[in-house]
Chains A and B, each alone.
Chain A
Amino acid sequence: MEHRRKLFITLVLAITLLGSSCWDRRELDDLAIATAVGIDQAEDPNKLLMTVEIILPQNVSTPGGGGGQGPASLNIQSQGTTPFEAAKRLTFESDKRIYFAHNPVLIFSEEMAKKGILPAFDFFIRDPEPRRTAWMLVAEGKAQDLINVQTILDPITGLYIEQLIESTGAASQIATLMVQGFLERLMSPTTAPYCSIIRIKGKENNKSMELSGTAIFKKDKMVGKFDYKEGRGLLWVLGEVESGIITVPCEKEGNIGLEIIRADAKITPAIIDNTLKVIINITEEGNLGEQECPIDLTAPEAWQSLERKQAEAIRQEVLAAVKKAQELNADVFGFGEAFHRKYKALWKEQLKNNWDEFFPDLEVEVLVEAKLRRTGTTTKPAVPE
């Protein structure tokens, strides 16, 4: 009896544990690793065109191994009414299963973005394979043209774009968002999503690409675009400025470049005299990066005036972004959420459903506290006196 019970328990354990295990074994050589996915509007208005860049591992050069001849990646395309259908149809062209888990960039054409990306977006959220850490991008023009560009710096276009996005922090003029972040904003009743814009640069045989700004969405539709200045204005408010140069003019002629070291921001909603008001407190620290004018800036008065100029420059950038956002009526800053957190009752009763009416007329006050810390490795300007 004891014996049978032991056997029974062992069997039950074996079946329940092993039976539920990973059955979907797939060899690495049976996978086509996708490194860029582009969604375009197909000629048939009901269909979309999916362009996927897949890696050809045998052509990827490895140190010592040499690597084969020919391109390191291949672009394949298919059409479908939904992305999932198109993805499945990709196998008509590829002898391997398309593997989305490593896809670093998801590119929508501007046309698609303006029409609304929601129908095409769901697959990339729901399916377990594509990651939510992929970067969202809008392509000026067609996404397929962009993916077709042969980049020289990195033979794999998708990885090249990923690197472009990940190094935006150096200038902090373009706001970037992953699929996850985009989704969070998309699901908020008021906060507007945004993502980077990318475009082809150069002509015919000398094509390259560059990030050209930040696309602003209203719900799932792209409504406008922030340029570099407005882009940094947005990042100031979000507190996501990592580094960059603030250029302020000298007293007479020439410019002074100030490097941003760290920055932070705080949004305080307030209701003053029955009007909604938002106070943005920005604290920033910078270094003197370069100067063209022959003034000794290490003198305390000059230093303080420079700090004031720096603060004013930041304020202008933020105000430009706010102005543009209010024109587009897209709350990319998350002011609505701030009011929601502070004035819950009021939010429920009045603001929530009428935010589109409140937002364009919102009074915004920008307070900047900017500090300068160091002058670099020299205290005197490198200019003849």
Chain B
Amino acid sequence: MFNLKKLKFLQFLISQKPLKGQQSDKGQGDKRHGLTANLKRNITILKDNLGTSGDIVYHEFTMGTEGRPDASLIYVDGLVNKTVINEFIINPLMLESRSVSEKCGIFPNYNIDVIKNTLISVGGIEKVSTFEELTDSCLSGDTVLLINGLTEGLVISTRGWQTRGVTEPDTEAVVRGPREGFTETLRTNTALIRRRIKSTNLTIETFTIGQQTKTDVAVVYIKGIVNPGLVKEIKKRLKSINTDAILESGYIEQYIEDAPFSPFSTIGNSERPDSVAAKILEGRAAIIVDGTPMVLTVPLLFIESFQSAEDYYSRPYYVSIVRILRFVSFFISIFGPGVYVALVSFHQELIPTPLLITFAAARAGTPFPAVVEAIIMGIAFEILREAGIRLPRPVGTAISIVGALVIGEAVVSAGLISASMVIVVALTAIASFVVPPQADVGGIARVSMVFLGGTLGAFGLMIGFLGGLIHLCTLRSFGTPYMSPLAPLKPLDWKDVVIRFPLWTMITRPSSMGWNNPQRQEIAMMPAPPQDGEESGPAQK
């Protein structure tokens, strides 16, 4: 739909000006070069590459006693675990090497393998020979060891920085279920998933994206369950990202989503390891981005917004009622004010007489038409909501008091807005929080529905509803129809849509996910007390 000419012009602009990242990297030639045997020269090149930032430490020392080679440790202060460096790198190299070397004769015939294999007692050491690898790992929190006379350096894993602990996520709270949430550290997050799925098939593939940020991105899936085509497609899309910064998983989402012009998100996100694990087990793939607790899951289905982790931990009966409630709330949050406006300004005959009289009594004397009232109240609510999120906590209470008094009470008693409209807007506001993943869409759709309902009546609402439905049916998320299993109809997957069937009936994984490995469990799993003649538990007399 984009004008092609404009796109070409953009490309022309880009070709004239290289991306900032590439421009600022000085000494590109040096970076690609391998290490030299001269430590001094290596350090100079490194300093040129890394710059002279205060947090980069160049620690020069001599290994062993006199006459032994000079060495240098380079690391970023704050990203490394100092204890590890002191105890297990510097200590062995400077002190213990003396006794070792005399007995074993490491020096002067030292080489990189001997040092790597016998001296440094840290897990995770790699040999590197280019400056590029060196700087990258240094900036990720590893420590680089360079030794005079060797053309290879060692990258020692010493990552250890201040992190937030694993805490209960603020979003997706549950009453019954684990309290763990993802953190900002990629490794912790992958560990949280692996702790739940102790399978050899659990695969974690890591990429680095972002020229400046060099953010670690991991794709997590279960080999054998996931559709191989899905993984291929994810990798393809991730590799096509060429930008300077990935600061949050939202960046990734916006670069790889299927429908960038749709208000509906086609990529799911979750802060809960248990729900991400469950999604992986159904055949989805997760994308974990370093630096954010929000983990992406693909493909996303529309109905996933109405599912909560707790649905599967509680018994199915009440859960099914709550599911229906969520669907109803979603409809209310979109159509509430629109329907009210349409009824009050077009279709008064549809309202039962006593209710109409009540509405008329509430509306008597208010200055604005219903549609204007709805827009005013909608804007007021959005302002309150936004203010409530952005304001510092102590001020937040003031907002709620002012909001409740002004919006709830004063506008009605002053005769500016009818009481019934306040009720409708309040109900809609509450309903919109029942389905948090679709709250954004709810806001946009609600406004459109007020306009359609206020200008075209129920007819406009029908146009809006059908338009939305058609749009939803055209959406795809990584090859999966967004409305599946509703459209295309997949009856086998309906066990987890409106009614949550008991777990022992969920024999197959969702077919919408590609069905690489359909069967999830045995067929006859329904629990039942032992029949007569069968072996029973405690003896009964």
Which chain A residues have a beta carbon within 8 Å of chain B's beta carbons? 17-18, 21-22, 24-29, 31, 33, 35, 55, 57-58, 60, 62, 65, 67, 99, 101-102, 104, 129, 131, 159
Contacts and interface: CB of A to CB of B under 8 A. Distances in A.
B345 A25 contact: yes
Interface in B449-488: 454-460, 463
Contacts of A65: 361-362, 419
A131 B358 CA distance: 20
Interface in B407-463: 419, 454-460, 463
Contact of B369 (A27, A62, A102, A159): A27
B345 A104 contact: no
Contacts of B353: 33, 35, 102, 104, 159
19 contacts: A18-B460, A18-B463, A25-B346, A27-B370, A28-B370, A31-B348, A33-B353, A55-B360, A57-B363, A60-B361, A62-B358, A65-B361, A65-B362, A65-B419, A67-B361, A101-B348, A102-B349, A104-B353, A131-B349
Interface string B351-365: 001001111111111
Centre residue among B361, B362, B366 by max chain A CB count within 10 A:
B361
A33 B364 CA distance: 13
Contacts of A29: 360, 363-366
A33 B356 CA distance: 9
Given A102-B349, A102-B353, A159-B353, A28 B459 contact: no
A18 B358 CA distance: 31
Given A21-B460, A102-B356, A26 B361 contact: no
Contacts of B349: 101-102, 129, 131
B319 interface: no
Contacts of B419: 65
A129 B347 CA distance: 11
Nearest to A25: B345
A67 B216 CA distance: 66
Contacts, number: 83
B348 A28 contact: yes
Given A57-B364, A102-B356, A26 B345 contact: yes
Nearest to A162: B353
A226 B349 CA distance: 34
- Of the four ranges (under 10, 10 to 19, 20 to 34, 35 or more), the interface on chain B belongs to 20 to 34
A31 B345 CA distance: 10
A133 to B, nearest CB: 11
Interface in B349-394: 349, 353, 356-366, 369-370
B39 interface: no
Given A21-B463, A57-B357, A57-B363, 15 more contacts: A18-B463, A21-B459, A25-B454, A27-B344, A33-B348, A33-B353, A33-B356, A33-B360, A35-B353, A58-B364, A58-B365, A101-B348, A102-B349, A104-B353, A159-B353
A22 B346 contact: yes
A192 to B, nearest CB: 30
Interface in B268-288: none
Contacts of A26: 345-346, 348
A162 to B, nearest CB: 9
Contact of B357 (A18, A55, A101, A131): A55
A273 B356 CA distance: 60
Give the interface centre of A28, A60, A131 by most chain B CB atoms within 10 Å.
Answer: A28
A132 B98 CA distance: 108
Contact of A17 (B344, B345, B463): B463
A57 B361 contact: yes
Interface in B257-302: none
Nearest to A22: B457
